[in-house]
Structure 1
Amino acid sequence: MLRYRCGGVCLALLGLALVLVGAVGVLIVPDLVADERAFRAARPCVGAATGDCLRSVPATVRGTLIRERPRNYAYVLELDGPRPVPGDLDMGGADPLLKDLRAGDRVTVTLWRDYAIAVGKDGVTQYSSDSPEGEPQVILALALAFLPLGAFAAHAGGKLVVRARDYAAQGPPGHLVPLGKRALGAAVCALPAGLFGLWWGGPIAVAVMWVLLAGALWVLTGRRETTGGGRHARPLESPR
């Protein structure tokens, strides 16, 4: 019984932590959307530089890392420069500039707030992967993945704590297995929903697609269990 109770406490705490992280992710999405809009509206600084204009800062190349192996690629530019110029900057590809840079080269880094969005040299500019573009969709997709997993873990952990004596004698209830599968399926649905939002719209598109996919999965798996198709479905009663 003590084993079930301790396991239930750990599982419930994990679930609450996941729900908290997911809730925070959902709550910060409006701020990320505002940042994305401000970035799209940004123009080069005129006169005194401010945080919301595009400013150019000189930097020196320390080195480059170009690795183009399948499933193990990297395009990193190593820089020395004043803050907030990053020490390592993901360039997303070797062209058109990264492949030609060498240690000691002087470059110009274009900054927006603390994002290094582009690097230029001799009239050639390459945009980096450091940008607020797409952050709302990615954060919302991750939050939507955490929420069902956290809710299930908190529910299952709470059940184990409250009914530890019964579960120690009879084993965990069978309904937790299909419920866990549904929660996992809902979390997986966040991946295509996030990609859909990146390609076709913003956070609203992510939320709508996730609700549709997770809802359809929930209905289909629930129907399968209640009609006796699942291994954990309740057996049919024999006639008296």
Structure 2
Amino acid sequence: MAVRTGERAGMDRSGKAWLRVVAWALLGLVLLGGSAAASIAVPGLVADEKAFLDAQPCDSGEGAGGGTADCLRTIRGTVLSAEEVKSDKVRVFRVRLRPPVPAPADQPIDVDRHSELSELVKPGDEVEVTTWRYVLVAVGHDGVSETLPGLPDENPTMFVGLSLAGVWLAVLAFFAAFGTARRARRAAAGRPFAPRLPFGPFKCAAVVAAPLVVAFFAGSVWDAWTGVVMTVVIWALTAVPATILALRWDRDEPSTSPAAVRVDA
């Protein structure tokens, strides 16, 4: 009776282990799909970056294109409100222009609340807003101008970093599936195994952070495709070795040490 109970418990553990194998594998496939989607957007983002960096101030006729104008358009407007607000848990200095003003200057304009501009602008002031296509580029008043965040030249390398992070997370998931299956087989055969490097959230965070940090610095130094290529190259030289070391979970040799013997997945 005790033998049957032990066999039933072993089968239950084995079944749960294989469910985890399937879950890890599915997670890896989802991550690969997300990375592919992010990488598909990169060529378009690079084209936008190049067009933005090459943009010149609009002539009198070009600015009529509004949000589709491929030049730097200047919109002059009167400040309706200028106040410090909380946006996405961050406090910013938000400026709104008195309508009617053409898009995209008709939307709230958030600047650094500690900037010189935030100390100058007040309701009733005349400001100049620089736009490119549908993007707010800069806002200025009385000779003081501030470039706004979220410009097209910030996007390509960051998307590459996100794509690389997704790919490497998928590698982690597939390796976890392999390790879980291996442990299940060894447990079913009654063979112990010894973990080499336990894999935890800190190692995972380090692996994910590597491509994002590299993408940020590459985007700050290079432009367009150069930044994208350098992101991949530098990331590969740093994140790949770190990940390989982090993923060496098990030794092939069985261990007789009680502390090292594990039979669950």
What TM-score does the superposition give when structure 1 sets the normalisation length?
Answer: 0.72
Aligned to 2:136: 116
What whole-Å deviation, never above 9, does each CA across 1:102-158 have from its counterpart, x for those lacking one? 234442211101110111223432221131122111111121111111233255458
Bigger radius of gyration: 2
Distance 1:88 1:13, change over 3 A: farther
Contact preservation (8 Å) 2:95, 2:110: no
Aligned-pair CA distance for 1:73: 5.7
Partner amino acid for 2:92?
Y
**Which runs of 5 or more structure 1 residues have no equivalent in the other structure?**
none
Among candidates 76, 82, 85, match of residue 93 of structure 2: 76
Report 1:33-182 matches (<5 A): 33-46=46-59, 47-49=61-63, 50=65, 51-59=69-77, 60-65=79-84, 74-80=91-97, 81-85=101-105, 87-92=107-112, 94-154=114-174, 156=176
Distance 1:153 1:91, change over 3 A: same
What whole-Å deviation, never above 9, does each CA across 1:41-95 have from its counterpart, x for those lacking one? 111111132421111224434233278xxxx863332324442236333324533
Count, aligned residues: 226
Distance 1:167 1:23, change over 3 A: farther
Aligned-pair CA distance for 1:30: 2.2
Partner amino acid for 1:186?
V
Distance in structure 1 (CA, Å) of the matches to 2:202 and 2:254: 22
Secondary structure of the equivalent of 2:62?
A: coil
Distance in structure 1 (CA, Å) of the matches to 2:138 and 2:118: 11
Distance in structure 2 (CA, Å) of the matches to 1:212 and 1:130: 28
Percent of residue pairs bearing the same amino acid type: 28
Among candidates 190, 204, 209, match of residue 188 of structure 1: 209
Do structure 1's residue 18 and structure 2's residue 36 form an aligned pair? no
Contact preservation (8 Å) 2:197, 2:246: no
Distance in structure 1 (CA, Å) of the matches to 2:50 and 2:212: 24
Distance 1:237 1:165, change over 3 A: closer
Contact preservation (8 Å) 1:89, 1:130: no
Cα RMSD (Å)? 3.9
Secondary structure of the equivalent of 1:134?
A: helix
Distance in structure 1 (CA, Å) of the matches to 2:107 and 2:27: 35
**Which runs of 5 or more structure 2 residues have no equivalent in the other structure?**
1-11, 257-265
Contact preservation (8 Å) 1:18, 1:147: yes
Contact preservation (8 Å) 1:61, 1:106: no
Partner amino acid for 1:191?
L
Aligned to 2:44: 31
